[in-house]
Every structure is written in C-alpha cells, then in structure tokens.
Amino acid sequence: MNAIISAPELASDLAGPNPPVVLDIRWQLGGPNLRSAYEEAHIPGAAYVDLDSELAAPAGAAGRHPLPDMEVFGAAVRAAGVSENRDVVVYDGGLGWAAARAWWLLRWTGHPSVRVLDGGLAAWSGPVESGSPSPSVGTFVPAPGALSLLDADGAAALARTGLLLDARAAERYRGDVEPIDRVGGHIPGAVSAPTTENVAESGLFRPAADLADHFKSLGATGTSEVGVYCGSGVSGAHEVLALTVAGIPAALYVGSWSEWSQDDNRPVATGPDPQ
C-alpha cells in the first residue's frame, strides 16, 4: 500500500463500505494546539490527536519531541478509533510534518495500514463538519519496533558508514542561524536534505520517480543504510515518508538536533559540506 493518499482517493474510500479511521493532526511549532481549528472545521468523522501531548513525551534531555509514553499514545489513538484491522489516514493543515509524525509512530508501533493525506486539509475539497465526534473506541495496542530507529550514537555511526540526511532548512544545517536550539550546525558527516525539496509548488509530494532520483543524487544508492534527523523528530518523519514513497527504507533519529546539541561532548560541523 502506498504511504500517501490523494484527496479524491480519500473521498472515495470514505464513501465506501469500509471507510478508514481519519485523524486530524493539525499542529504549530511553539504554539497552542489547534483543537479549536479542528472543532471549527474538519474532514467528516476525523478525530483530533494532539502532537505535543499525545505523539510526544515532554521536552527534556531526549529532545523537544521525544517518543511518547506508549500508554499515553495507545490510549489516545484508541480513543480516536484506531484498530489494527482498520485502515488509518492522517492529515494536518498541509505542511505534512505533523501528519508524518503520526504516520511514523503508528507504523513504528506496528499498525499495518497508515497513509498520509497528500497536501493535507489544504488539498481537501470535500465536505467538512464542525464539533467533536465521538468515534467508537479502537483496539490498537502499540508494539514498538516495526520501523528502524536511531539514537545519537547510531546517528553518528550512520553518518560515517551510510547516509544520514538532515531534513532542516539549509541555513540551519550550515549553522548560519539557529532560532531554537543551543547551537547551530549539523552532525558531522550528515548531508543537507531540506523537507521543502520533497514537495512540488502545489504542496503535494513530488512523484515517486522524482523523489527516488532526488535521494539518489544525495547518496541513497541502495547499497547503504539511510537515516534521517531534523530539529526534533517531526519534519524528519516527513523525510522518512518521502523516502518511503521513493521506495527507500530509512531510520529516524527522533531526538534529532534538539537532543544532539544539548551535549557539549558531541561534535558539531558547520558550513555547507558534511564534514
């Protein structure tokens, strides 16, 4: 199954005999959650899941968006109607980062069928509804480990032996600016690969063949392992999603730069080159 779904495909599936569970993951970095926007208008039947409190643990030594407590995560997605034997579609406002985080977590914890709405709510031209529906409680129990996961040491090693992609903006990779974390720059050996390069001007993902060529140009030749990090494990999930669309498996370093940069003993590279 493709990891993404178009708005027309979702509309067709929702009208079919076995509609998917739909999750609204709208989110803004550093701001209040967007539950109020969800309650004003969302795809019919969609349930809201909060990234900061339900798809991540509190910020700390493990980064700004560490892996969530599995009990909290499991309870949240079951309350939203998620079961292991029912397809899931996740969406956000259109950027795709938050939806990709939900996609990655559900896939990492063993859900077999999760797709991201390509273009998010901005691409949806179907009906919307207001309020907060109460879906039937699902049965999904998270079982972590279905996708590859990196820690700081693993990311450092992969930057030397394989391909480690940095999904942040190029200026943050170079260390020209750092608006959030303690220090700017990148993990030595990592290659700059901003998430903005994964999508077309329309906001939709580039075709799979284009993405495959793009990642091949960055060093994803199929002969070495690929890993991704970003600022705090959110936009990096979008890069893993793009790699998946391109047919390239990749591991995610969830702690990402927000964890890496907290430790003075970890090296930092600056400038446009990996080393």
Q: What confidence tens digit (pLDDT) does each residue in 37-79 have? A: 999 999 999 999 999 999 999 999 999 999 999 999 999 999 9
pTM above threshold 0.95: yes
What is the percentage of the chain residues whose pLDDT exceeds 70?
Answer: 100
C-alpha dihedral, 59 to 63 to 65 to 66, nearest 10°: -100
If you average pLDDT over residues 15-27, what whole number do you get? 97
Assign 133 a pLDDT band (cuts: 50, 70, 90): confident
Instruction: Give the C-alpha distances (Å, rounded to integers) separating 251 from 72, 131, 183, 244.
Output: 23, 37, 24, 11
Q: Alpha-carbon distance 157 to 36, whole Å?
A: 43
Amino acid 223: pLDDT: 86
Assign 227 a pLDDT band (cuts: 50, 70, 90): very high
Domain 4-123 matches domain 149-260 at the CATH topology level: yes
Amino acid 30: pLDDT: 79
In this structure, which CATH number among 3.90.180.10, 3.40.250.10, 1.10.10.10, 2.60.40.10 belongs to the domain 4-123?
3.40.250.10
If you average pLDDT over residues 181-208, what whole number do you get? 96
Catalytic residue of the set 98, 230, 237, 240: 230
CATH class held by domain 149-260: alpha beta
Report domain extents, the chain.
4-123, 149-260
Supply the DSSP symbol for 268: -
Active site residue 21: no
Q: What confidence tens digit (pLDDT) does each residue in 141-176 have? A: 999 999 999 999 999 999 999 999 999 999 999 999
